[in-house]
Chains A and B, each alone.
Chain A
Amino acid sequence: DIQMTQSPSSVSASVGDRVSITCRASQGISTWLAWFQQKPGEAPKLLIYAASTLQSGVPSRFSGSGSGTDFTLTISSLQPGDLATYYCQQAYSFPRTFGQGTKVEIK
């Protein structure tokens, strides 16, 4: 199975700050990577797929980059509504696997 490792496990930032979350795959996955946002009590929501393609309706302050084994999710200007846990997930092979999550908190 491909292991997905995220860092940091949590981040606290102020409104307007730039926040970056990294995700590393245990083997190369090309750009077969998705990012999800999960708010408390809700199902995960697809933000970015194919490593860098923004899902329809997602604010442009979210962006994704990377290929191979190293990926980054960036929030260019943190907003109060971005309080959530963010997960990466590989779609290169089965079983599909997720990172352990990064909790984003607002200072």
Chain B
Amino acid sequence: QVQLHQSGPGLVKPSQTLSLTCAISGDSVSSKSATWSWIRQSPSRGLEWLGRTYYNSKWHSDYAASVKSRITINPDTSKNQFSLQLNSATPEDTAVYYCAGGLFWFDPWGQGTLVTVSS
């Protein structure tokens, strides 16, 4: 059974970098039958897919256009986890952030992290 556990700060100052980590158990971040995504949820934007990373002969990443200039999703094979970095955070980035696995369908999900961008 695959499980995801998120970690990272719940408060980020404007203009700083929002960073979260998602640790995987029960599967490998390098699995060829999985992709690893970050999704956020806010009252104003609803559920919003941000991007993903996956391994298929080499590492790939795809990002939503809305955050493409500010986002990086990286795998960490030594710790079997993947991370989200969102640069130049603004109050509009305040949301609950989820990591999620799955090849075609988002399952499982992490427990969620409320990140508030405020000074």
**Cα distance A43–B65 when bound, in Å?**
24
Q: Which residues of chain B are within 8 angstroms of A101 by Cβ–Cβ distance?
A: 46-47
Q: Which residue of B lies closest to A32 (CB)?
A: B104
Given A89-B47, A94-B62, A100-B46, A55 and B109 touching (CB < 8 A)? no
Pick the residue among A34, A42, A97, A100 that contacts B106 (CB under 8 A): A34
Contact B47 A98 (CB under 8 A): yes
- Beta-carbon contacts under 8 Å, B83-115 to A: 98, 102, 104-107, 109-112
Contact A95 B109 (CB under 8 A): no
A-B contact count (CB 8 A): 44
User: Nearest Cβ distance between residue B33 and chain A, in whole angstroms?
Assistant: 15
Question: B2: CB under 8 A from chain A?
Answer: no
Given A43-B110, A43-B111, A34 and B46 touching (CB < 8 A)? no
Q: Which residues of chain B are within 8 angstroms of A94 by Cβ–Cβ distance?
A: 62, 64
Question: A87: CB under 8 A from chain B?
Answer: yes
Q: Which residues of chain B are within 8 angstroms of A42 by Cβ–Cβ distance?
A: 112
Q: List chain A positions with a Cβ less than 8 A from chain B.
A: 32, 34, 36, 42-46, 49, 55, 87, 89, 91, 94-98, 100-101
